[in-house]
């Protein structure tokens, strides 16, 4: 099954993140805690380094065939460590939501289907996690009732897409509404955001201050290509950039520019 066929809409969110110290979880070698699951900085680095190494090798091979010499910048993937943290945390929470609803997640999307648009070799763990994440997104989008569409939510998605170059900037709300049609993918995004934010509060999510600007990875099909992006948490009133539990204070640190069930992922 082709990825373009099964991806009908974008799914976007970002999670309220807590200071590790505020929650009594302050291990410097931990990137994120999701309930009893721990995601180490070592694992984040391993996934990131794997992307960079294999991407660079692929670019070199193409350059050799073309008789060219790639620059250092051309050898580096656009994937960041923040992207890796986003994917790990989003997958964990999404799986918990799916489990609570007692729904099965099919294995349909392969890394090979995403390789060209994701611009990451299919052999990387990052590409494999993305395939798993899209399978999960599709199930959750079917299970969660669409949220109300607001101008703030609409424009948050629009602004995130403009950053990728997938759509022109400077459009008015009216123009964006016209371009997005019934806004179905924004409604789904808002519903997913609310479900993940609720689960994050229930299981206690703590993020290392280096990665506290956590956003759920998102993808939308233009009909010709897939656009990968992320943006702040969206609730029914609009985008929210920082959500903390009542007994925890948010960290003041600036953000740095596999999924698991209960246990430790290192």
Which residues have CB under 8 Å from 50's CB, separation 6+?
Answer: 124, 125, 126
Nearest to 118 by CA among 162, 65, 55, 180: 55
Does 103 score more than 80 pLDDT? yes
Q: Which domain holds residue 83?
A: 3-265
Please calculate the CA angle 203-99-238 and round it to the nearest 5 degrees: 60
Tens of pLDDT along 32-73? 999 999 999 999 999 999 999 999 999 999 999 999 999 999
User: Between residues 107 and 157, which one has the greater pLDDT?
Assistant: 107
Distance CA 163, CA 146 (A): 25
Distance CA 237, CA 174 (A): 18
Pairing status of strand 30-34 against strand 205-207 = antiparallel
Taking residues 256-264, report their average pLDDT: 33
Per-residue confidence (pLDDT) for residue 63, from 0 to 100: 94
Q: Which helix (H) or strand (E) holds 234?
A: strand 233-235
Taking residues 184-204, report their average pLDDT: 84
Q: Which helix (H) or strand (E) holds 30?
A: strand 30-34
Distance CA 164, CA 144 (A): 27
Distance CA 134, CA 216 (A): 11
| φ and ψ at residue 79, rounded to 5 degrees | -65, 135
Tens of pLDDT along 218-243? 888 877 888 887 755 545 455 554 43
Per-residue confidence (pLDDT) for residue 237, from 0 to 100: 53
Q: Characterize 157-184 residue by residue with b for buried, 16 or more Cβ atoms within 10 angstroms of its Cβ, and e for exposed.
A: bbbbbeeeeebeeebeeeebbeebeebe
User: Domain count of the chain?
Assistant: 1
Which residue shows structure tokens 């699951």? 37
Distance CA 8, CA 234 (A): 19
Q: Cβ(205)–Cβ(20) under 8 Å?
A: no
Does 78 score more than 80 pLDDT? yes
């Amino acid at each position: 099954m082709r990825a373009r066929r099964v991806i009908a809409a974008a799914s976007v969110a970002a999670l309220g993140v807590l200071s590790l110290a505020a929650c009594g979880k302050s291990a410097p070698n931990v990137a994120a805690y999701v309930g009893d699951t721990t995601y180490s900085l070592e694992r984040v680095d391993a996934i990131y380094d794997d992307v960079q190494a294999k991407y660079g090798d692929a670019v070199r091979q193409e350059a050799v065939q073309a008789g060219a010499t790639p620059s250092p910048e051309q050898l580096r993937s656009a994937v960041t460590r923040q992207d890796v943290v986003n994917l790990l945390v989003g997958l964990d929470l999404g799986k918990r939501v799916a489990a609570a609803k007692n729904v099965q997640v099919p294995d349909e999307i392969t890394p090979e289907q995403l390789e060209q648009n994701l611009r990451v070799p299919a052999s990387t763990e990052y590409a494999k996690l993305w395939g798993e994440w899209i399978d999960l997104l599709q199930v959750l989008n079917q299970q969660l009732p669409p949220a109300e569409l607001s101008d703030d939510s609409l424009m948050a998605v629009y602004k995130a897409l403009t950053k990728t170059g997938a759509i022109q900037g400077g459009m008015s709300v009216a123009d964006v509404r016209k371009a997005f049609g019934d806004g179905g993918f924004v409604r789904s995004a808002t519903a997913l955001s609310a479900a993940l934010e609720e689960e994050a509060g229930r299981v206690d999510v703590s993020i290392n201050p280096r990665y506290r600007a956590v956003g759920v990875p998102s993808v939308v099909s233009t009909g010709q290509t897939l656009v990968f992006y992320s943006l702040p948490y969206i609730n029914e009133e609009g985008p929210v950039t920082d959500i903390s539990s009542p007994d925890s204070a948010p960290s003041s640190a600036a953000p740095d520019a596999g999924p698991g069930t209960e246990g430790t992922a290192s």
